[in-house]
């Protein structure tokens, strides 16, 4: 778009004059305004996110996450989390668009109380061996690179049962979305803790095996019956798919953490993927509506986002705002690289807002500055 596009017939193009300015003042006194003063901003030609592309280095964040451990107790903080704040819109505690993310640390033997809220949550484990979560009475143990969900409205509490090392996991929530819609409720568990069922990882045992259980009560909730997606079978699935298919020109070999009953996203508002870039692979650029937060799960690479290069390695977190051109490359010539990501695509799709476009110039790659 050029400035000239906003001068076209059909766009607001009123020039200020003293009479108009006085008129705007009169309207403002009545808490009203003239649409044409803001029309081109509030209805842009294409999405104009305030969120900017960002990369947060794990190496830089990790010491500060550790620093929080003695500074606040889990009880005081509720959740001891260093959140990532997009500098383009600091007022909403969002990492990008309608998505929140943060690094939560739990010391050895520590546990947090149970609560539930409208915002849906997901976890991606960065480090530590003792992490557990109880989601609606189901205890799950999660290790590095495991993915787990806490759907909207489910009771949840977390802890670290290791006696030596802290757990650091990444929380992803749709808090900014819920708040934009003024739909958020929050409750503390009446007993402060849930009484978990006896079987650990019961949903993974029931639904995690490429077959669906028969003869059991039908699952009717609007989210996946699988609450945990361990790394090993996830990685194996990617390696297997890489043998069977080329994958996506924009994402390499990419798979969604699916609700096995619907084939759709695990939760109603947020989807999540794990993708594999073959050694040396560079994808083509595309853009789509919807925001994405990526975590480098394995290896090292570079992503070009809106023309800017972001080099990443394991643990780094970066974001792609809605409608920003992006492409990824594995910088290692002999090892594969994996990116975990989560997004707001289910919202975009269910509202009919999904759009996608390929970058066709320059051989499909963005020029970088």
Of 84 and 304, the one with the shorter C-beta distance to ligand GTQ is: 84
Rounded to a whole number of angstroms, the minimum distance from the CB of residue 175 to ligand GTQ is 7
Rounded to a whole number of angstroms, the minimum distance from the CB of residue 21 to ligand GTQ is 45
Residue 283 near residue 250, CB atoms below 8 Å = yes
Which residue carries 């509030």 as its tokens? 42
Of 117 and 286, the one with the shorter C-beta distance to ligand GTQ is: 117
Binding site for ligand GTQ (CB under 6 A): 79, 81, 102, 104, 117, 121, 156, 171, 173
Rounded to a whole number of angstroms, the minimum distance from the CB of residue 204 to ligand GTQ is 20
Rounded to a whole number of angstroms, the minimum distance from the CB of residue 98 to ligand GTQ is 14
Of 80 and 326, the one with the shorter C-beta distance to ligand GTQ is: 80
Q: What three-state secondary structure class fits 327?
A: strand
Q: Tokens standing for 169? A: 């996991």
Rounded to a whole number of angstroms, the minimum distance from the CB of residue 48 to ligand GTQ is 27
Residue 204 near residue 227, CB atoms below 8 Å = yes
Of 117 and 326, the one with the shorter C-beta distance to ligand GTQ is: 117
* Residue 163 CB burial class (10 angstroms; 0-12, 13-18, ≥19): exposed
Of 121 and 274, the one with the shorter C-beta distance to ligand GTQ is: 121
Exposure string (b/e) for 55-91, b if CB count within 10 Å is 16 or more? bbebeebbeebeeeeeeeebeeeebbbbbbbbeebee
Cβ-proximal residues to 2 (8 Å cutoff; 6+ apart), any chain: none
- Bridge partners, residue 229, by sequence: 147
Of 101 and 265, the one with the shorter C-beta distance to ligand GTQ is: 101
Of 148 and 204, the one with the shorter C-beta distance to ligand GTQ is: 148
Rounded to a whole number of angstroms, the minimum distance from the CB of residue 241 to ligand GTQ is 31
* Residue 158 CB burial class (10 angstroms; 0-12, 13-18, ≥19): buried
Residue nearest to ligand GTQ (CB): 171
Exposure string (b/e) for 212-226, b if CB count within 10 Å is 16 or more? eeeeeeebeeebbbb
Rounded to a whole number of angstroms, the minimum distance from the CB of residue 278 to ligand GTQ is 33
């Amino acid at each position: 778009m050029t400035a000239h596009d906003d001068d076209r017939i059909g766009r607001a193009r009123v020039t200020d004059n003293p009479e108009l300015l006085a008129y705007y003042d009169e309207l403002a006194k009545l808490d009203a305004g003239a649409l044409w003063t803001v029309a081109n901003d509030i209805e842009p030609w294409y999405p104009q996110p305030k969120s900017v592309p960002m990369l947060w280095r794990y190496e830089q964040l990790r010491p500060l996450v550790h620093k929080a451990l003695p500074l606040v107790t889990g009880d005081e903080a509720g959740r001891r989390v260093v959140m990532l704040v997009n500098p383009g819109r600091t007022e909403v505690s969002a990492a990008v668009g309608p998505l929140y993310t943060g690094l939560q640390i739990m010391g050895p033997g520590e546990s947090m109380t149970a609560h539930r809220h409208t915002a849906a949550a997901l976890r991606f484990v960065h480090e530590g061996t003792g992490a557990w979560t109880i989601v609606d009475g189901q205890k799950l143990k999660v290790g590095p690179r495991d993915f787990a969900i806490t759907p909207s409205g489910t009771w949840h509490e977390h802890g670290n049962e290791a006696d030596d090392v802290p757990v650091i996991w990444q929380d992803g929530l749709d808090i900014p979305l819920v708040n934009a819609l003024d739909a958020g409720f929050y409750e503390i568990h009446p007993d402060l803790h849930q009484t978990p069922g006896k079987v650990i990882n019961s949903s993974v045992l029931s639904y995690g095996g490429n077959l669906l259980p028969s003869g059991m009560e039908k699952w009717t909730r609007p989210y996946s019956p699988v609450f945990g997606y361990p790394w090993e079978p996830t990685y194996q699935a990617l390696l297997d798919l890489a043998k069977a298919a080329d994958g996506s020109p924009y994402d390499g070999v990419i798979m969604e953490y699916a609700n096995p009953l619907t084939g759709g996203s695990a939760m109603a508002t947020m989807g999540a993927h794990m993708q594999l870039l073959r050694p040396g692979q560079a994808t083509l650029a595309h853009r789509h509506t919807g925001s994405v937060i990526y975590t480098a799960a394995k290896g090292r690479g570079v992503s070009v986002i809106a023309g800017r290069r972001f080099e990443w390695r394991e643990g780094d977190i970066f974001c792609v705002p809605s409608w920003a051109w992006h492409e990824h490359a594995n910088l290692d010539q002999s090892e594969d690289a994996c990116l975990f990501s989560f997004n707001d695509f289910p919202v975009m799709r269910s509202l009919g807002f999904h759009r996608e476009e390929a970058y066709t110039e320059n051989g499909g790659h963005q020029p970088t500055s």
